[in-house]
Structure 1
Amino acid sequence: MGFTRKRRSRNGKIRYQALYEDACGVRQTAGTYATLKEADKAWQRAESRTAEGKRGDPRRAKQRFRVYVEATWLPNHRIEESTRQDYVYAINAHIMPFFGEMRLKDISSETVRNWITHLKERGVPAHRIRYCKTSILNAIFTTAVNDGILEYHPSRGVETDPVPEKPRKTITPEQFNLIYQALPDADAQLLIETDIESGLRWGELTELRVKDLDIPTRILTVSRAVVQLVRKHHPEGKRFLIKEYPKGKRWRRIKLSAQIVAKLKAHIEAEGLQPGDLLFARHRPTPPPALQIVTPENLTFEAANGRTYTHGTITAYNLGKCKCDRCRGAYATYRAKRRAKGKDNPRKPRTIDDDPHISASWFRKHCWYPARDAADLDWSPRIHDLRHAHASWLLAGGADLQVVKERLGHRKISTTERYLHTLPNADETALDALDKIRAPQAAPQGDQPNAAELERELAEAQARIAELQTVITDQLIAQTTKSALRPA
């Protein structure tokens, strides 16, 4: 049972505090008011909300949007770490500048529509606005409603501009061969060929280990994936996070061709890989050879600026731009002496990353982009387009749609259907059938009808059609008249 308590403020004024018990029997306050009547109404409203099953404290709706998102929603929202990283960037760039200082209770559907217009005026693409509204803002307000902070969902029912789905373009076998031949080494070629043969995502491909491939049966088990994060978003401050499940959160097993399994087997034996080792790992760059001891007459060199400097000096490092081991050592010694005297603030030492996973950005920059440019294609395929090509090639070759769905790890078969008819020659069969129907039957040369006969046949056909239309009209009139005269 709620009640009102009289309180005296510091300046001597009498105020009234409304108190009630929540669903758990814990005494809560519904606010402090200037009059007894206002306080009684407040605790009565709070009790009514409790009886209706509405949990939460209405005062929590007065908190700022920034405080709620950063302190409550984002730390406790259960999402993948890579998704959390994307959310943080999108929130800071597009959502927080507009909603950050607003109170939750002051945000309405009109406010959300104004925000969408604001983003459009800033030139934010439609697909990015849709992502921020549908994936992030809806999730924030849904949680606030479920927790009893808000009574209604501000962004529910607010529409964004349509995002047209562009036609999917697929790598053809000829284009793949051009890119494959332009790759820098055999390891990059094997990785790309395995990708086109299996249709794996990049995180699944670069987390494959020797134990995942059963060579006798040629069965590959996809049971893990790796994602690359910024260190501040990684739970342990690292760059790569291994998930014990692929996308879709279920394992899958696919069979590889005999030729790619033979290449993978030779790769495993040549590298001496153990069952727990990665099939594809980045190689440590070999350290540069040490500078040989030079004779005194060869200690000088002419720099690009036309001046002559001596190796092993600071001026040769700074002005001569020489980065040999002798000049680098001299500069490092000079800096160490200054830091020892407290004259310089040493920068934070670089962290050596010994993770063997291949970075997607590194592979794109050093392997994929140069090979793609060398292939001189009329478009710019991504590495992920190899997965699309795998599905399109299988379906174009007659593979069962359900089998392709299972190989790709799709949950819905409608997702796999998108890869139908994506190759340039996918509709050739349909066009051939159309030509076959439209093409006139070949007649002997002597039996070709002339123009007069064609006009006569056309006139007869039109007269017959008019006659049939007259008969049908008469029958309809007779049926209508008969129905009107029939007694009720």
Structure 2
Amino acid sequence: MLKDFLDANGQSFSMAAEAASRMSSTAPTVQQVVSEHIETLTAASSGTRRTYRGQANIHIYPVLGAIPVDRLTRAEVARWFNGMTIAAKSKKNVHAILSAALKTAIADGLISENVALGMRAADEVSTFEPVFLSEAQMSIIYSALPQRWRLFVEFLENAGLRYGEATALRWQDVEQRDGRVALRVTRAWRRGDDGEYIGPPKTKRSRRTVTLPLLLGDALLGARGDAATGDLMFTRPSGLHLSNSYFHLSVWMPLMKEISGQLGAKPRIHDLRHTHASRLIARGVPLPVIQARLGHESITTTVNTYGHLAGDADSLAAAVLD
């Protein structure tokens, strides 16, 4: 019996002792702890929980899932963490799920230490670098874009809303402010277990009012026609929800394939929002104002994403002191 046990553990007494220790543990496994943590989160939407489940299934459970939570070591977590071949931001998000679950396990009296604390991914270049489109590049896009979608793309470029916010807008969200059209952003499409649904925007600061440029505001009102106040502003030709996947596959990807040689870039739909922010910075709009317009929860997000574009601001600061 002892020989068989040692053979199963590479003839190593230390490995055999560790295996025996795990076999004798009555604590729940890492998978059980993480799963319970995800399902009992009170501030997470159903879509967020589904995302967490998917990340745990792919990245946590295959490596650490079967280990009793009270036998999990920092070395094992470090090897798992370093072995994940995903972008630094994704690695950070997956690690946060495990660390939060272990924190819950401490509160439940299952363990005394969070062995996942203090681990950080090396800085890496994001898989998707923002693309800031010039006016000339936008002209190329508009010249090839079907007329049916021109106003929608102009809106994304010049309003700066997130895609899910823009496609959740209703005509009743329009108001007049000092001769301009303004939009109350109070809703966004979210993803849940049963598909997409309309809920609150991404963060508290995402609930905001966004004022439109004059020409865009006039074009939007001109397109309203006989629509009822509760109707969505932007839909598919059939009147159904203009989901990101539909627009991406039916409109954006074919368009990018057609003009990629002229454009010299491969922008995503979300890059229209980045382009909007870059235009504001180029015209001297302060970053806190841009933060409020984009609905960023923290100025740090705005600075980290767009701060490098504000090169002239430092020269202006120096000029003030001359």
Deviation, 1:146, is 2.2
Shift of 1:262: 1.4
Structure 1 residues 400 and 161, CA, compared in 2 at 3 Å: closer, same or farther? closer
Q: Out of 64, 74, 85, which is 2:29 matched to?
A: 64
Q: Secondary structure at the match of 2:306?
A: coil
**CA separation in 2, counterparts of 1:73 and 1:262?**
49
Q: Does 1:80 align with 2:14?
A: no
Indicate whether 1:218 and 2:181 are aligned. yes
How many residues end up aligned between the 2 structures? 285
> How far apart in 2 are the matches of 1:282 and 1:151?
54
Measure the CA separation in 2 of the matches of 1:419 and 1:160: 22
TM-superposed deviation, 1:73: 1.5
1:136 aligns with 2:93: no
CA distance in 1, matches of 2:101, 2:309: 38
Structure 2: where are the runs of 5+ without partners? 1-23
1:396–1:420 contact (8 Å) kept in structure 2: no
Q: Pick closer, same or farther for the CA change 1:420–1:115 going to 2, 3 Å.
A: closer
Q: Matches of 1:64 and 1:256 in 2, distance apart?
A: 53
Aligned to 2:146: 184
Shift of the 164–283 alpha-carbon distance from structure 1 to 2, 3 Å rule, reads: closer
| TM-fit CA distance, 1:213 | 0.9
Aligned to 1:374: 258
Identify which range, 155-164 or 203-212, moves more after superposition. 155-164
Match for 2:37: what amino acid?
W
**Alignment check: 8 A CA contact 1:281 1:356 kept:** yes
The answer to whether the Cα contact below 8 Å between 1:168 and 1:422 also exists between their aligned partners in 2 is no
1: CA distance, partners of 2:89 / 2:291: 26
* CA deviation after TM superposition for structure 1 residue 142, in Å: 1.4
Tell me how far 1:117 sits from its aligned partner.
Answer: 4.0
Q: Deviations over 1:455-479 (max 9, x none)?
A: xxxxxxxxxxxxxxxxxxxxxxxxx
Report deviation, 1:157.
2.0
CA contact (8 A) 2:186 2:208 kept: yes
Inter-partner Cα distance in structure 1 for 2:308 and 2:124: 22
How has the CA–CA distance of structure 1 residues 154 and 421 changed in structure 2, closer, same or farther, with 3 Å as cutoff? closer
Shift of 1:415: 2.5
Unpaired segments of 5 or more residues in structure 1? 1-58, 285-354, 434-488
C-alpha displacement at 1:67, in angstroms?
Answer: 2.5
Match of 1:246 in 2: 201
SS of the residue 1:218 aligns to? strand
Kindly state the Cα deviation for residue 207 of structure 1 after the two structures are TM-superposed: 0.1
Q: Which has the higher contact order (CA 8 A, sep 6+)?
A: 2
**CA 1:420/1:277 → structure 2, altered by over 3 Å: closer, same or farther?**
same
Q: How does 1:280-429 map to 2 (within 5 A)?
A: 280-284=234-238, 356-376=240-260, 377-417=263-303, 418-422=305-309
In the alignment, the residues of structure 2 paired with residue 263 and residue 419 of structure 1 have an alpha-carbon distance, to the nearest angstrom, of 29
Q: TM-score, normalised by structure 2?
A: 0.80
- Superposed CA deviations along residues 66-125 of structure 1, whole A, max 9, x for unmatched, are 23333x222111313332222111111111111221111011211101212443xxx444
Match of 1:445 in 2: none
Measured in 1, the distance between the counterparts of 2:295 and 2:108 equals 35
Query: What's the Cα RMSD here?
Result: 2.7
Give the whole-Å Cα distance in 1 for the aligned partners of 2:229 and 2:26.
Answer: 55
Q: Describe the SS at the equivalent of 2:183.
A: strand
Q: How far off is 1:179 after superposition?
A: 1.1
Aligned residues of 2:168 and 2:188 also touching (Cα < 8 A): yes
State whether structure 2 residue 222 is matched by structure 1 residue 279: no
- Who is 1:4 aligned against? none
Contact 2:252 2:269 (8 Å CA) reproduced:
yes
So what's the TM-score if we normalise by structure 1? 0.54
Q: Once the two structures are superposed, what CA deviation does each residue of 1:420-474 show, in whole Å capped at 9, x if it has no partner?
A: 4549xx67x97xx9xxxxxxxxxxxxxxxxxxxxxxxxxxxxxxxxxxxxxxxxx
